[in-house]
A = this chain, B = another copy of it.
Amino acid sequence: MPYAHEIRVTWGDCDPAKIVYTGRIPGFALDAINAWWEHHLGSGWFQMELDHNLGTPFVHMSLDFRAPITPRHRLICQVAPVRLGDSAITFRVQGLQNGVLCFEGTFVCVFVVADRFTKQSAPARSAH
């Protein structure tokens, strides 16, 4: 079961075509991934970075836009990690409105020592 993060899409997210501006959709997916961390670790990127010196910068993202997003329904972003390597984690994010798939994407992050921006092992693995 993927984690589901709900986003209240608003007027200000939309462009004159009356649908969400494409440039805002990656940010929705990132908000959902941050919420996934918050759900699983108890805190998100801000605390990971400032309190635990752990950064997870993105090295890749790929998105397919399947249907327009509007403020008429909440946007449900389902997040699931699909691969956890020694130094990277890949997330799959699917955004749905009213049961319709609006976008889906793949996001790859690497683990770094935050204050040095040097690679480190995945914290979940290094903890074992």
| Interface residues in chain A, defined as those with a beta carbon under 8 Å from any beta carbon in chain B | 8, 10-12, 14-18, 21-27, 30-31, 34-35, 44-47, 49-50, 55, 57-65, 68, 70-72, 114, 117
Contacts of A64 in B (CB 8 A): 59-60
Closest to A109 in B: B22
- Knowing A22-B58, A59-B65, A61-B63 are in contact, say whether A46-B8 is a contact too (CB < 8 A): no
State the copy count for this chain: 4
CB neighbours (8 Å) of A24 from chain B are 12, 27
**Closest Cβ–Cβ distance, residue A21 to chain B (whole Å):** 5
Tell me whether B46 and A27 are in contact (CB under 8 A): no
User: Which of B45, B58, B70 meets A10, CB within 8 Å?
Assistant: B45
Instruction: Report if A11-B72 is in contact (Cβ < 8 Å); known contacts: A30-B23, A50-B16, A63-B61.
Output: no
Q: Decide if A46 touches B70 in the complex (CB within 8 Å).
A: yes
Instruction: Decide: A22 and B30 in contact? CB cutoff 8 A.
Output: yes
